[in-house]
Structure 1
Amino acid sequence: MRSVLLQEAFAAPAVARSKGVVEEEAAKLCARLVDSAGSPVEVRPMLRKAFTSLFFRWALSLDPDSGVAQRLATLFEGAWSTLTDPVVTASDFVGLPGVTGTLPKIKRERTRLFRELITARRRSESNRAGETDFLDAMLKSQKKHGFGEDLIVETLVSLTTAGISTVATSLEWLLLLFAKHQSAQTQARSEILGQGEQRYLEACILETLRLKTPLFVPRMCLEDLEVSGWGLKEGTLLLPDSYKLAHDQAHWGGGPVDEFRPERFLNAERPLLDALPGLRPKCPFTGASRADAGAAEATPEKGATAFKFLPFGVGARFCPGAPLALSELHIFAAALLRAFDWQVDGGQVDLSEAYSFTLTPLNPSRLIFRPRR
């Protein structure tokens, strides 16, 4: 039932409706960077704020400056800090004295606020003719399929965990990689300022997701099964190594796998978005139809990279928000490329990695954005 809910809520019309809001939040981010007047800025909190505001607007039609939005934003930040702190996260599982229960407390308060928003939305439903956001789509799906409110709350909680910081982190990596590879930044900007298909920027985004891909969320076997001769018992926890897949030289041509080479995704013999098995038949960057839409879902031999590159998962657990996430990355990156040239403060780009809930830059990124004339 969760998959049905998400597929309907993330359907192409819903993603298309979000475009204007995404563009507005990207413009606000650019305005804040203009105010920095060429001084070094730590981009991580700015990106997190931008994508949190975006979530409030397209998912809940909330003013990001409202009281409830501010309370939720504080809880989101607390949850993220907990998930990325190995000591605190461990305490929620093994019961360390003094810090036990940090995440459950955050979850309870976040759940309470989401339930209040759902109740308020139901009361005002008759006054929202013609308005549709993510919550509206879920409530409509609930009427159609009859599932409980708990599923809506759980979906909103999952969305805030997986749909804000992960996209912000991917954009932070892209900005750092463009700062290190100035020629790639220049080429992407030239494409954006022209009238082409913007394939190079798409390739840069995909290469960023390949180069800085996190591990999967663990999965559990629901029954005994055998995979490639390995017997797996019901209840076995599995952690697919997506990072290793994305950095396996045997799978990836176009130069060393630890280097940023967007050209890997521009081979004319392999359609660009075959890189993402499970992606729907619409290109998330442009909205264009893909004649080859099902190619990458068949076998590892079909499609360009098939099951070698899985930033959004695959199969029944493929992330339904992938088209929206890719669209957001493209719109924000394009807006920044049009408005600024940027480099790292001090000139030395640090691409060291820290792994927790996702793969983040080890050290906070301080970039200098110079407005383009």
Structure 2
Amino acid sequence: MRKLCTLELFSARRVQSFRRIREEAVANLVASLTAAAAGETSVDLTRMASTVTSAITTRAAFGKAQELTDAANFMVVVDNISDLLGGFRITDLYPSLTFLPALTGLKAKLEKMSKASDSVLDQIIDEHKSRRTRAATTKDDRHGSYKEDLVDVLLNLQEKQVDLGAPPITMEVVKAITLELFLAGIETSATTIEWTMSEMINNSRVLQMAQEEVRQVYGDDASLDQLNYLDMVIAESLRLHPPGPLLLPRENGNQKVELSSYEVPINTKVIVNVWAINRDPRYWKEAERFLPERFMDYSIDYKGTDFQFIPFGAGRRMCPGVSFGMAIVKLTLANLLFHFDWVLPAGQKSIDMTECFGMTLRKQYALHLIPVSYNRVPFE
């Protein structure tokens, strides 16, 4: 399944095909912020970051023609599942007590969420099948007015049963991948945007340098590759605030493994603490300081080739949607820096950086800022 995601869903070509979707969603964000700037009012940037990432992911997965009610219903289900999985449960402390999920009501809640998810996804998939049938029997061709989204790609693979070295692609697999895309994608991208803006507000020198770069070279999605300092800012934000502070558990299989001076027995689950690695003074000078310049001579590729910096994991099990998520993060931040200066609400001297652990490493308190429109017309 991971190979399927890498080759078919999140390839460079596929991510680039969603460029217009990203631009439209970010343009809507800028319009909302411009209205707030005109009224000199504070905005909840935490909520707005979540809104823009949700809009992009929903359009990429379901397409513009999908009924908004279906997409909205699905987002409610995703939010509920995220809250359920991200919170602390007594069953986490005593996993061997198999009766606890039923006793605490967790099992019933999970079953309820599973049924709700299946119901909404069935409606969305049925609508896609109807659209595909209409497109095949009319002049509505696949390369014209009919635009394929991620659900269409999965349905294509399911129909053709393309051999990617994985088990057959059943309808349950289609639904599972769609749900995982939302659970893993929306909150991680939104959280990265929030943390990066927070760090820049608390570090005025970094904010000024990032804005100067963006306002000199940024014009559209094509010029994002030229924003080298912004790349360093994002990387440093991911170092200090990795979206997933603990990588998903992995099992070492049927042989013992030695890690440093520790022996990991056969069939033992191992959890990598990315947060701790990223702040280890053995690998990072002034590890607690926000210093983007540390990445000046560092190849930032997020491919997990350097084990001291693996915000998205490493190897075959790393996050397959990195390019999709980072495209959203960078475009959003570039626009926030290009179009606006940012001011703290009255009486606030800095951003509270207290962390709150859930499915991702979030800020405990929402980020509230006042946008001030920047009145330079680009590319005159």
Question: Does TM, normalized by the shorter one, top 0.5?
Answer: yes
CA separation in 2, counterparts of 1:366 and 1:339? 17
Instruction: Indicate the structure whose relative CO is greater, using CA pairs within 8 Å and at least 6 residues apart.
Output: 2
- Structure 1 gaps of 5+ residues are 279-295, 297-305
Q: Give the aligned length.
A: 341
Matches within 5 A, 1:140-219: 140-142=156-158, 143=160, 144-145=162-163, 146-195=168-217, 197-213=226-242, 214-219=245-250
What's 2:223 paired with? none
Stretch moving more, 103-112 or 56-65: 56-65
Find the counterpart in structure 1 of residue 81 from structure 2. 79
What CA RMSD, in Å, does the superposition of the two structures yield over aligned residues?
A: 2.4
- Further displaced range: 323-332 or 112-121: 112-121
After superposition, residues 218-229 of structure 1 pair within 5 angstroms as: 218-228=249-259
Aligned-pair identity (%)? 24
Query: What does residue 252 of structure 1 align with?
Result: 284
Q: Which amino acid aligns with 1:13?
A: R
TM-score under structure 2 normalisation? 0.83
Q: Is residue 51–residue 164 contact of structure 1 (8 Å, CA) maintained in 2? A: yes
Query: The residue matched to 1:370 in structure 2 has which SS?
Result: strand
DSSP-derived class of the 2:370 partner: strand
Structure 1 residues 278-317: aligned runs within 5 Å: 278=304, 296=305, 306-317=306-317
Equivalent residues in 2 for 1:74-153 (5 A)? Answer: 74-87=76-89, 94-95=100-101, 96-97=103-104, 100-126=107-133, 127=135, 129-130=142-143, 131-142=147-158, 143=160, 144-145=162-163, 146-153=168-175
1:310 and 1:104, CA in 2 relative to 1: closer, same or farther beyond 3 A? farther
Structure 1 residues 149 and 6: alpha-carbon distance in aligned structure 2, compared to 1, 3 A threshold: farther
Q: Which moved more, 1:225-234 or 1:67-76?
A: 225-234
**CA–CA separation in structure 2 for the residues paired with 1:349 and 1:62:** 37
Closer, same or farther: CA 354–28 of 1 in aligned 2, 3 Å: same
1:227 Cα deviation from its structure 2 partner: 2.8
Are residues 1:319 and 2:319 paired?
yes
Structure 2 gap segments, 5+ residues each: 136-140, 219-225, 376-380
CA–CA separation in structure 2 for the residues paired with 1:60 and 1:88 = 36
Which has more radius of gyration? 2
Counterpart Cα distance in 1 of 2:357 and 2:336: 27
- Distance in structure 1 (CA, Å) of the matches to 2:331 and 2:91: 33
- Residues 64 and 70 in structure 1, CA contact (< 8 A), matched pair in contact too: no
